[in-house]
Amino acid sequence: MIIEEKRKKLLNSLIGMPNLLNIPVLNEALRKLPQLYGNFLVRNELEKLRQRILTAELSELDTIDIEPELLAADIARLIHDKAAPSVYPAVNAAGIILHTALGRSPLAEEARMAVNTAAEGYSTVAIDRYSGKRGDRYLHVQDLLCFLTGAEAACVVNNNSAATIVLLNSMAEGKEVIVSRGQLVEIGGSFRIPDVMMRSKVVMVEVGTTNKTHLRDYKNAISENTGLLLRVHASNYLITGFTQSVPVMEMADLAHKHDLPMADDIGSGCLIDLTEFGLPHEPLVQHSIRDGADLVCFSGDKMLGGPQCGIIVGKKRYIDIIKKNPLVRAFRCGKLTYSALEATLKLFLDRETLLTKHPVMRLLTRTPEEIGRKERVFLRKVKSFLDGKCETKVINGFSQMGSGSLPGRDIPSKVIQLKPLKMTVDDLANRFRKNDPPVYTRIENEAVILDFRTVFPKDLPHLQIAFEMIFKDW
């Protein structure tokens, strides 16, 4: 058979380890890593290629290039990457403030310093400083969270997904949890409310319709098997038109009449009324607590601007039950998270401090004029590289909150529009991405868009070099 012959031929002509290691470009790259680890990586790549040849269809087989120099160059690039930190700094010029793939919220300097101090040696993460007794790690942030949200108690776990699971499981294992059909959200990948309910060992009872859920829908669904009424914030989508949902206050009242708890998965831990800044409304944690929710859970690294974690605040008697759940131990976070979270929460104690030092608030409240000015100053610096190669303009555009906060509501901004003359926009965006450090942009209307809302001063020299490298010799 022709395919088997081709396969055999490719395998027979595939370069062996010793010869591959001697090709200068790879040999050079391997000096960056301890020898055994370097060889391990090269062997893996060679083996992957062998497996690909062994399993490829005919059409794919014809595209496999085993030219030794090419192979060595590819693997050398991989070796360079492995020698550098894998979680590598990146420039976010996409204007998406909470970009999940780029690490969601940047941390405030205060939070970074706190992490550094906690990482350096030992710390009192789970010990009471005065009695020397084993302490409760939630106490580091409990007073802050209670003060900021009006709740009685708090608990912190690995992320909001974990918070939701531990909340459901603690409140209603083996029982029914009533939720509106309009709130059965999927938050990227595997966080889908029906699956989360199943894994939390509760029985989901859906009520209402996609667009409308009434108080009576919840009321009619309550039975002796009910364990919890749950509201989930539709963080990443909007249901508009002929719609109705039940406010927290009414859900909480109904739950309490039946001696049941009511919980609110609010998604983004927003503590500041964004409408004051002319931004779209996002529900506030303290309002849910005020309106009677017994438990509210949210992410630490969305609007809160802290480290990845999930925060549950609410009534002490329920938080006490949650804290006893072994899942909390399994989902708990470490000293680095607590340090960063405490420092981030302290920024919220003073409005002035918050607006100058909290990165998410700072980026969010930048005005289009301020952003446009920075973009024009920058463009003047790189203008000489672009002449005759790319049309540039600063135009009105939009930034996004990202991570499912403020869904469907863009934030006015000024953006740089790049229209390359002799390459495609995909090609240009690719070149930005392949820069060191990688630069992430957006493609819109046949143009590459850079939004300086999310560009930090430290990024500017890198961005300038990126423009120079991309446009200079082309």
Q: Where do contacts with ligand PLP occur on this chain (CB under 6 A)?
A: 159-161, 164, 185, 187, 191, 232-233, 235, 265, 267-268, 299, 310, 404
- Other Cβ atoms closer than 10 A to 84: 10
Strand partners, 206: 179
Question: Which residue minimizes CB distance to ligand PLP?
Answer: 267
In the complex with ligand PLP, the residue whose CB is nearer, 15 or 232, is 232
- Other Cβ atoms closer than 10 A to 345: 24
Characterize the bridge pairing of strands 91-92 and 439-440: parallel
- Other Cβ atoms closer than 10 A to 390: 21
In the complex with ligand PLP, the residue whose CB is nearer, 236 or 464, is 236
User: Residue 50 contacts by C-beta under 8 Å, 6 or more apart in sequence?
Assistant: 11, 14
In the complex with ligand PLP, the residue whose CB is nearer, 153 or 263, is 263
Q: Give the nearest distance from C-beta 157 to ligand PLP in angstroms.
A: 10
Per-residue b/e over 95-128, b at no fewer than 16 CB within 10 Å? bbbbbeebebbbbbebbeebbeebeeeeeeebee
In the complex with ligand PLP, the residue whose CB is nearer, 180 or 435, is 180
Q: Give the nearest distance from C-beta 305 to ligand PLP in angstroms.
A: 13
In the complex with ligand PLP, the residue whose CB is nearer, 208 or 267, is 267
- Other Cβ atoms closer than 10 A to 312: 30
Q: Give the nearest distance from C-beta 196 to ligand PLP in angstroms.
A: 8
Q: Give the nearest distance from C-beta 190 to ligand PLP in angstroms.
A: 10
Q: Give the nearest distance from C-beta 267 to ligand PLP in angstroms.
A: 3
Q: Give the nearest distance from C-beta 269 to ligand PLP in angstroms.
A: 9
Question: How many residues in the chain?
Answer: 474
In the complex with ligand PLP, the residue whose CB is nearer, 187 or 425, is 187
Cα–Cα dist 31/113, whole Å = 34
In the complex with ligand PLP, the residue whose CB is nearer, 40 or 237, is 237
Cβ pair 85, 32 in contact under 8 A: no
Cα–Cα dist 182/341, whole Å = 32
Instruction: Give me 20's structure tokens.
Output: 């591959």
Phi and psi at 385, nearest 5°, equal -75, -20
Instruction: Give me 87's structure tokens.
Output: 């979680």
Q: Give the nearest distance from C-beta 183 to ligand PLP in angstroms.
A: 9
**Of the candidates 438, 400, 428, 460, which has an alpha carbon nearest to the alpha carbon of residue 95?**
400
Strand partners, 232: 265
In the complex with ligand PLP, the residue whose CB is nearer, 29 or 295, is 295
In the complex with ligand PLP, the residue whose CB is nearer, 261 or 310, is 310
Q: Give the nearest distance from C-beta 172 to ligand PLP in angstroms.
A: 17
In the complex with ligand PLP, the residue whose CB is nearer, 172 or 447, is 172
Instruction: Give me 44's structure tokens.
Output: 């893996």
Q: In the block, which residue shows the tokens 């595939």?
A: 14
Q: Give the nearest distance from C-beta 52 to ligand PLP in angstroms.
A: 34
In the complex with ligand PLP, the residue whose CB is nearer, 113 or 239, is 239
Cα–Cα dist 306/293, whole Å = 23
Q: Give the nearest distance from C-beta 472 to ligand PLP in angstroms.
A: 41
Q: Give the nearest distance from C-beta 325 to ligand PLP in angstroms.
A: 17
Cα–Cα dist 122/356, whole Å = 31
Cβ pair 271, 361 in contact under 8 A: no
- Other Cβ atoms closer than 10 A to 300: 29
State the first-to-last Cα distance of the chain, in angstroms, to the nearest integer: 46
Phi and psi based region of residue 342 (left: phi greater than 0; alpha: psi -120 to 50; beta: remaining): alpha
